Chains A and B, each alone.
Chain A
Amino acid sequence: MKQWLHFNDYVACAVVQREALQRIFFSATLLVLLARYFAHTLIHQIGSEPLLYQEIDPVYWLFMILDLPNFIAAKIPLVFDFMLIGSCLCSIIWNQQNISTILFFITHFVFFVLTNLMTGHHYINIGILFVSFPFVFASKVNFAYALAFVRFLFCFGMFSAGLWKVFRGNLFFPDQIYTQLVSRHLTDILQHKTTMRLSIITWLIQHRYIAHLFWVIMIGIEVSFVAGFISFKYDCYLIIGYLLFAIGGGFLFRLFIYENLIFLLTLAPALKWVGAISENLFKVQHKRSSKPANA
């Protein structure tokens, strides 16, 4: 595949792939929402949780001032969840319009804040929140620019997460991963469970400097996302790095950032793969439609 050097190459590809990307993104989102349904964490399943996690975030405060958590979770929870899933489905089926994508973006933003208010102020999984934004644009060029901007935000999130750890002195602090491993697997250790994963975790707890090496590698992966600001050349490595980071986080810390895998759609190789797949699909469809009707 030809390597992209300029921003315009990315824009041209995103413009052509807009509709295919919409289908892929919203299909992935639908899977995430289904996972939430089976985990009983949609709004109508959580119910109206009285104690809220507002933290020091003015947007969460605004939600509380407007009494939105109580109104949505207690009065219209089913309607709200239906809007969320319905707008997602419509965006998959009718992928050449942006009315349902705008509705989804707004509904999902509210959903994001509400679930965080009710289930803990988490913002590790922000993939859908950001990647749904470019699809609100009707213009394909504006969509492409917004997608590129989300790519930069993704790189910024990873890079700054690494910097926070470096500046707070975590890079050379073996206690950090050690404490995390013990606290996150404490229940299993106390219950003397005998899984292969727990055997590896307990081995790492007993060899804290090797565990620390994994910590340094994970920080290294985060910091390496600075390359995303400079060129598209390294995007393939960023995809590999992020997958390793996600697998490592899930295995070592039980942090499942599956929703953030959606961010990978904004990286250059993913766009090219989408292009190649949709081109092949188009060829197949074209061949079928060019056959005579009585063939």
Chain B
Amino acid sequence: MKKNLLHHILLVDFFSTLFHHKRRLFYFFLFFSLIQLGLTAIKLEVTPFFLYGMFSEKTPYTGKVMHRYVFLNHIAMDSFHIASPETALLLVDLDNYLIIKNNNNEDVVKSRVESRYPFFTGSFLYPFVKNKIYNTPGKMLQFESWFKTKCSQYTGIAIHTVCIQENTYLFDAAHLSFKLIRSETVAAF
């Protein structure tokens, strides 16, 4: 009776059928499932075992919002009407650049790994791989050049200077109004 009830559950039916007819596939899928569950439990992502926790981290509203403006040859990037996928690519890559720049040109992944995973950084393997798995300060200069090349390609004109400005506003939702409280140039190259 209990067995019959269990077999009405699709997942049980699936693994039971596999076990009886395709033993190798059964072990492969079972192994895959266990790794996926185990890595989810310890919050580690190893492609193709993904963590599906995006947008789950609480983001409390502070009343302040930050907006980043990019100026190409002293003209706002919006004025060039670059298509949205290209704009997204540029802004996402620029975000990575600024995060590393704000971390004294050291890769933030390096800072996180060295603070969270001492068993890995203390292992014999680490000295051999650490020069390969992080973005080095030298890459920052290469990025600046790559970014200008991409902007030139997307805008159709030669881009010589890039300036990034961050404005912080107080946001009044009731009136949909913004009050500028801070403006800062965070990078220029």
Q: Which residues of B contact A (CB under 8 A)?
A: 8-11, 13-14, 17-18, 21-22, 25, 29, 32-33, 36, 40, 44-48, 50-61, 65, 67, 78, 83, 85-86, 89, 92-93, 95-97, 100, 109, 112-113, 117, 129, 132-135, 139-140, 142-143, 146, 149-150, 154, 171, 173-174, 176, 178
Q: Which of A179-209 contact B (CB under 8 A)?
A: 179-180, 182-183, 186-187, 189-191, 202, 205-206, 208
Measured between beta carbons, the chain B residues less than 8 angstroms from A46 are 89
Report whether B47 and A39 are in contact in the complex, using a CB–CB cutoff of 8 Å. no
Q: Does A291 lie at the interface of the complex (its beta carbon under 8 Å from any beta carbon of B)?
A: no
Known contacts: A51-B140, A165-B55, A187-B67. The answer to whether A64 contacts B132 by CB under 8 A is yes
Q: How far is the CB of B146 from chain A (nearest CB, A)?
A: 6
Contacts of A60 in B (CB 8 A): 47
Q: Is A214 an interface residue when CB atoms closer than 8 A count as contact?
A: no
Chain A residues proximal to chain B, CB less than 8 Å:
5-8, 11, 39-41, 46-61, 64-65, 67, 109, 112-113, 118-120, 123-124, 126, 129-130, 141-142, 145-146, 148-149, 152-153, 156-158, 160-161, 164-165, 167-170, 173, 175-176, 178-180, 182-183, 186-187, 189-191, 202, 205-206, 208, 228-232
Contact residues in B for A126 (Cβ distance below 8 Å): 48, 50
- Who on chain B is nearest to A192 by CB? B176
B85 to A176, Cβ gap below 8 A?
no
Q: How far is the CB of B7 from chain A (nearest CB, A)?
A: 9
Q: 14 A–B contact pairs at CB < 8 A?
A: A40-B85, A40-B89, A47-B149, A145-B25, A164-B53, A164-B56, A176-B55, A176-B58, A186-B65, A186-B67, A187-B67, A229-B10, A229-B11, A232-B10
A188 to chain B, nearest CB (A): 11
B14 contact from A7, A129, A202, Cβ within 8 A:
A7
Are B46 and A57 within 8 A (Cβ)? yes
Please tell me which one of the listed residues B9, B60, B65, B150 contacts residue A175 in the complex, with CB atoms under 8 A apart.
Answer: B60
Nearest residue in B to A169 (C-beta to C-beta)?
B58
Give the distance in Å from the alpha carbon of A120 to the alpha carbon of B139 in the complex. Answer: 16
**Residues A61 and B133 in contact, CB atoms below 8 Å apart:** yes
Contact between chains at A47 and B150 (CB < 8 Å)? yes
Chain A residues lying within 8 Å of B78, measured Cβ to Cβ, are 187, 191
CB-CB under 8 A from B48, the residues of chain A are 109, 126, 129-130
The answer to whether B59 touches A176 (Cβ under 8 A) is: yes
Cα distance A230–B139 when bound, in Å? 50
Cα A250 to Cα B17 in complex, Å, equals 39
A-chain residues with CB within 8 Å of residue B13 when the two chains form the complex: 6-7
A64 / chain B contacts, CB cutoff of 8 Å? 132-133
- A54 in contact with B109 (CB, 8 Å): yes
A179 to B10, CA, bound (A): 39
Pick the contact of A161: B54, B135, B139, B171 (CB < 8 A).
B54
- Chain B residue numbers with a CB within 8 Å of A130 are 48
A112–B78 alpha-carbon span in the complex (Å): 29
B57 closest partner in A (C-beta):
A168
Does the CB pair B176–A205 fall under 8 Å? yes
| Alpha-carbon distance A281/B78, docked complex (angstroms) | 49
In the complex the two chains form, is B133's CB within 8 Å of A54's CB?
A: yes
User: Do A142 and B150 touch across chains, with their CB atoms under 8 A apart?
Assistant: no
**Contacting pair B146 A47 (CB below 8 A):** yes
Q: 7 extra interchain contacts, Cβ-Cβ under 8 A, other than A40-B85, A57-B45, A148-B14?
A: A5-B8, A50-B135, A56-B109, A58-B46, A176-B55, A187-B78, A229-B11
CB atoms of A7 and B17 under 8 A apart: yes
- Shortest beta-carbon distance from B58 to chain A in Å: 6
In the complex, which residue of chain B has the Cβ closest to the Cβ of A124? B54
The answer to whether A157 touches B133, judged by C-beta atoms less than 8 angstroms apart, is no
| Beta-carbon nearest neighbor of B37 in chain A | A156
Contacts of B52 in A (CB 8 A): 157-158, 160-161, 164
B47 in complex: contacting residue of A65, A113, A190, CB < 8 Å: A113
A8 to B121, CA, bound (A): 49
Distance in angstroms from B14 CB to nearest chain A CB is 5
Residues of B within 8 A of A5 (CB): 8
Q: How many angstroms between the C-alpha atoms of A65 and B61 in the bound complex?
A: 40
Of B29, B59, B83, the residue contacting A180 (CB under 8 A) is B59
Nearest Cβ on chain B to A109's Cβ, whole angstroms: 8
